[in-house]
Structure 1
Amino acid sequence: MTDETAASPTAPLSVDEVLAGMPAGMGALSDKMGITLLEVSADRVVATMPVEGNTQPYGLLHGGASVVLAETLGSMGSAVHAHPDKLSVGVDINATHHRAATDGIVTGVATAVHLGRSMTTYDVVITDERGKRVCTSRITCSLIPRERFSL
């Protein structure tokens, strides 16, 4: 790694490097939802999630499951941006559900909108296997100094 790459706050890390820095990986909820992290940097985070097991009573992908995926992606990107001096905590999320997904895998792509010293914001687009947009979300995270947490 060159000095230029090391100094870049958005230099890509491997998925394993990012997860190794998290006390509980992506967390128990992400594990239960079947979320698989594929790509992670402060600028862009990509993950997949199965529809099966994450549906509401009518067999459609649960809107809350889409929000869990979106929050996971935005939080992971924010955590990479905040590392090593700060931790990220979600403070706002919204979602618009465009179409139903009934089977297969959905893919979420979080793209940084703002990477500041005390706050980050990500747009998250979730699509089905045909590339059709299922959900659009926006998440904002606050960056808190590590010493304020007892992990």
Structure 2
Amino acid sequence: MQLTKEFIQERFRAMAKDTLLETLNIEMIDFGDDFLILKMPVTPKVHQPDGVLHGGATVALAETCGSFAAELFLDTKQFFVRGIEISANHIKSVRIGNVFAKATFIHRGRTTQLFEIKVTDDDDNLISLCKLTTISLPRTK
């Protein structure tokens, strides 16, 4: 089956319902053979007390982006994905607008996957650089 942008967006919306993803208003923007892009609005809901984007919200966006990218390329009837390690370097702060997470594969193994996730703002400034390792585990019957 050919994956279309509309199909993937609907799948993401269904997965996000009643979760942190919905709370943070994260949405799927685009995908390709080796990348996925998500967007999150920067509002007071995701601010630190001093009015800038909270690093934890940024990491939640990044982990969601990498984990969903890994899941896109799996047979989800047989396997499920879990993040096993994430690191983040926060480079610049954001007060308002949107941030975009773009996950690209560094390693695309059968069991583990490694992603680089760049989080940028509306002007394409690098906000955070993250690295995520995921694992694909078999579903038990």
The TM-score with structure 2 as length reference comes to 0.88
Amino acid aligned to 2:16: M
Matched residue SS, 1:25? helix
**Structure 1 CA distance for aligned equivalents of residues 4 and 10 of structure 2:** 10
**Structure 2 CA distance for aligned equivalents of residues 114 and 93 of structure 1:** 15
- Is 1:106–2:99 an aligned residue pair? yes
Q: Is the 8 A contact 1:41 1:77 kept in 2?
A: no
**Structure 1 CA distance for aligned equivalents of residues 64 and 108 of structure 2:** 17
**Structure 1 CA distance for aligned equivalents of residues 115 and 33 of structure 2:** 10
Counterparts of 1:1-151 in structure 2, within 5 Å, are 13-18=3-8, 25-26=15-16, 28-41=19-32, 43-52=34-43, 53-84=45-76, 85-147=78-140
Unaligned runs of 5+ in 2: none
Unaligned runs of 5+ in 1: 1-5
**Structure 2 CA distance for aligned equivalents of residues 129 and 14 of structure 1:** 25
Q: Is the 8 A contact 1:81 1:115 kept in 2?
A: no
> Cα deviations across residues 104-131 of structure 1 (Å, max 9, x unaligned)?
0111110011111101111000111111
May I ask how many residue pairs the two structures share in their alignment? 138
Whichever of the two has the greater Rg, that structure is 1
**Structure 2 CA distance for aligned equivalents of residues 20 and 130 of structure 1:** 27
Matched residue SS, 2:73? helix
Q: CA RMSD in A?
A: 2.1
Q: Is the 8 A contact 2:9 2:28 kept in 1?
A: no
**Structure 2 CA distance for aligned equivalents of residues 146 and 15 of structure 1:** 26
Distance 1:19 1:129, change over 3 A: closer
The TM-score with structure 1 as length reference comes to 0.82
Instruction: State the shift of 1:65 in Å.
Output: 0.6
> Cα deviations across residues 71-96 of structure 1 (Å, max 9, x unaligned)?
00000011112223311111000100
